[in-house]
Chain A
Amino acid sequence: MDWLIHPWPWYVAGPIIGLMVPLMLFIGNRSFGISNNLRHLCAITQPPMVEVDFFRYNWKEHTWSLVFVIGTALGGYLAGVVFADPNPVQLSPAAQDMLLSWGFLLPEGKLVPDELFLTSVRNFTFLFACGVLVGFGTRYAGGCTSGHAITGLSTLQLPSLYAVLGIFGGGLIASWFLVPHMLVG
């Protein structure tokens, strides 16, 4: 059962992720994408006195999608807890050097760094703010990595190419100019 514990190479993971698109079409003519669920969750929890039109629709028609992300969380639990891999992420030597130069410790069996994810007011403020950017941006762009980069590009849609270029540009700016200085000056 080693394959359930060890990390999966890109040539196994990528095709499985790609198969999500035809699978969702085949199961119920659905378009593979995750970020719409953030909208549905807002629609479910929106208090009547602050109603925003964008969240006034029958979210129950999208139950399938909510079930899908409940599955995603369950899959994360299975892969990250039940079949957890105790070994650290095998980063390239260049990435390891870069992390050290940024003042980060090398990964030790966790997928996200303690320096940013351990419970503290500072960390949680940062994480929440990043979440706001992701949630706002993904809805503004009408999709995230799954809906645009995977579904959109594979169905040859030009708007998705614009979104992907924006996403990659934004990521480069953050990763090159901000992340290196988050811990050290």
Chain B
Amino acid sequence: MFRYLPYLLVGILFGFVLVKSEAASWYRIQEMFHFQSFHMFGILFSAIITALVSIQIVKRLGHKKALDGQVIDIPEKAPGTVSYVLGGLIFGFGWGLVGLCPGPMFAMAGTGSLGAMVVLAGALHGTWLYGALKQHLPH
């Protein structure tokens, strides 16, 4: 159990940031999609740049090992186009309406928001639906 502690701590930090930065706010998401504030773009861009730079540093350091001894490697996403664009469109459409993507869903459910728990319940059903229909969808 103890080996999961780092994940719990980093997860707590993540949920805390999502709420404190208001990235879990429906209002901020509408503001973002209407280009009325730099706030959300600032979060996304600075997050991507921080990750990109730190990954490059990890790579330059050579084959560093993770805390548990595994060699660090970055998994490649499966090649494709259709599933990424179509799936992205459907996900983005839902996100634009409800203002919560999966991370904020968990964070807002944690604040006790019954509405966010309903969104999460819907997301579980949507995920199950995808699993059931997978073979019939273009990928």
Contacts and interface: CB of A to CB of B under 8 A. Distances in A.
Interface of A: 6-31, 34-35, 37-39, 41-42, 45-46, 52-55, 63-65, 67-81, 85, 89, 91-92, 94-95, 98-99, 107, 111-113, 116-119, 123-124, 126-146, 148-157, 159-160, 162-176, 178-179
B36 A95 contact: yes
Contacts of A112: 25-27, 99-100, 108, 113, 115-116
Contacts, number: 514
Contacts of B77: 142-143, 152, 157, 159-160
B79 interface: yes
Interface in B18-35: 18-31, 33-34
A70 B48 contact: no
Contacts of B30: 95, 98-99, 175, 179
Contacts of B74: 25, 31, 155
A7 to B, nearest CB: 6
B87 A18 contact: no
A178 to B, nearest CB: 6
